[in-house]
């Protein structure tokens, strides 16, 4: 690699820099810059006007330019139960939804990975198929299913299981149903990817050494599926925490999630600095576990790489 790089000279090296640099440029332009703007706004003071916040650098009457960093927006987060309540509620809903997705998704991914090879692709297609319809329409469809005179209640009453419609829509249950339904594929796909690569002779070896099927599952399958479990949980937990559409359409008016509060601050109250502070806080809270989990996954990947 190195020798080839030296051989191809300046031109080749620049070419490589360009190729490596492009994704970084992309990330900087569309992630770093917007985040910097949000960060800047979060330290500003709200005011009436356009834009609805005060600049950070202000020149006073004496011609002195001073930097005004306003941390009130952040303090407000911890002061008003509306904000930290919504945040805690979001984390709780996302965590429970992630666990539900895992409990539901693992058997499904396992089933697909163990199916005859010719069945795997059709089964995966069934998992991915809903993505071909608009997310919003699919969530609306759940309203039709869950509402008091909706499909579910009519069916349950039709078979005589209940005689009064269940109040599911606009309850936390509806939010969980919506989130689990929407994010289940993100759990199944990475789980499937690790489970399908699992060497089945390892399970035979475990059985040969006296492990019953359930022990083999706990001691061999589950630890080896860890990378997929971590990836799946991240892919569900992170977006579910900031989820806005599902609680707004399916949830009740009381169950505030951070995404909905954020929306209200931005568009109803026009308090951009508070909304930005919430966004920054959410990011910081989510980045921690993501980095930690990613690192533990990289450690696994490292030892994978050495094996050959």
Q: Which residues bind other proteins (CB under 8 A)?
A: 199, 201-202, 204-212, 215, 219-220, 223-224, 303-304, 306-307
Residues in the chain, total: 308
Name, in order, each residue with C-beta under 8 angstroms of 44's C-beta and a sequence gap of 6 or more. Answer: 53, 54, 55, 56, 68, 70, 272, 273, 276
For 69-170, where are the E strands, in sequence order?
none
Taking the complex as a whole, the smallest distance from the CB of residue 189 to other proteins amounts, in Å, to 22
The answer to whether the CB of 85 falls within 8 A of the CB of 256 is yes
Taking the complex as a whole, the smallest distance from the CB of residue 198 to other proteins amounts, in Å, to 10
The nearer residue to other proteins, 193 or 224, going by C-beta atoms, is: 224
The nearer residue to other proteins, 190 or 247, going by C-beta atoms, is: 190
Apex CA 294: angle with CA 291 and CA 299, to 5°? 125
Q: Which residues are paired to 46 by β-bridges?
A: 53
Taking the complex as a whole, the smallest distance from the CB of residue 201 to other proteins amounts, in Å, to 4
To which residue do tokens 């080896």 refer?
Answer: 224
Taking the complex as a whole, the smallest distance from the CB of residue 92 to other proteins amounts, in Å, to 31
Taking the complex as a whole, the smallest distance from the CB of residue 299 to other proteins amounts, in Å, to 12
Task: Judge if the upstream peptide bond of residue 51 is cis by omega within 30 degrees of 0.
Answer: yes
Taking the complex as a whole, the smallest distance from the CB of residue 127 to other proteins amounts, in Å, to 27
The nearer residue to other proteins, 5 or 213, going by C-beta atoms, is: 213
Tokens representing 258 are 């951070």
Cα 93 to Cα 4, 96, 124, distances in angstroms: 53, 5, 27
The nearer residue to other proteins, 80 or 199, going by C-beta atoms, is: 199
Alpha helices (H) along 115-150: 117-128, 135-146
The nearer residue to other proteins, 2 or 307, going by C-beta atoms, is: 307
**Whole-number Å distance between alpha carbons of 162 and 222:** 39
The nearer residue to other proteins, 201 or 254, going by C-beta atoms, is: 201
Taking the complex as a whole, the smallest distance from the CB of residue 199 to other proteins amounts, in Å, to 7
The nearer residue to other proteins, 13 or 219, going by C-beta atoms, is: 219
Taking the complex as a whole, the smallest distance from the CB of residue 229 to other proteins amounts, in Å, to 13
151-161 in b/e form (b: 16+ CB < 10 A) is: ebbeeeeeeee
The nearer residue to other proteins, 196 or 245, going by C-beta atoms, is: 196
| Burial of 22 (C-beta count, 10 Å sphere; 0-12/13-18/19+) | exposed
């Amino acid at each position: 690699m190195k020798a080839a790089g030296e051989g191809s000279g300046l031109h080749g090296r620049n070419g490589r820099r360009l190729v490596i640099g492009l994704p970084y440029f992309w990330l900087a332009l569309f992630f770093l810059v917007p985040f910097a703007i949000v960060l800047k706004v979060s330290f500003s003071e709200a005011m009436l006007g356009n834009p609805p916040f005060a600049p950070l650098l202000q020149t006073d009457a004496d011609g002195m330019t001073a930097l005004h960093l306003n941390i009130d927006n952040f303090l407000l987060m911890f002061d008003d139960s509306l904000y930290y309540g919504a945040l805690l509620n979001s984390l709780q809903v996302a965590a429970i939804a992630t666990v539900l997705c895992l409990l539901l998704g693992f058997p499904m991914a396992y089933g697909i990975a163990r199916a005859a090879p010719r069945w795997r692709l059709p089964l995966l297609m069934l998992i991915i198929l809903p993505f071909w319809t608009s997310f919003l329409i699919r969530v609306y469809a759940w309203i039709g299913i869950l509402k008091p005179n909706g499909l579910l209640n009519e069916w349950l009453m039709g078979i005589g299981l209940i005689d009064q419609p269940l109040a599911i829509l606009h309850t936390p249950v509806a939010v969980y149903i919506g989130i689990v339904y929407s994010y289940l594929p993100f759990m199944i796909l990475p789980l499937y990817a690790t489970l399908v690569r699992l060497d089945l002779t390892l399970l035979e070896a475990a059985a040969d050494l006296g492990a019953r099927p359930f022990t083999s599952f706990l001691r061999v399958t589950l630890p080896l599926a860890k990378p997929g479990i971590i990836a799946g949980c991240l892919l569900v937990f992170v977006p579910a925490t900031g989820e806005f559409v599902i609680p707004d359409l399916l949830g009740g008016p009381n169950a505030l999630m951070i995404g909905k509060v954020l929306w209200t601050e931005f568009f109803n109250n026009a308090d951009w600095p508070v909304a930005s502070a919430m966004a920054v806080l959410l990011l910081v809270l989510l980045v921690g576990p993501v980095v930690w989990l990613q690192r533990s996954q990289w450690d696994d990947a490292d030892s994978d790489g050495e094996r050959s």
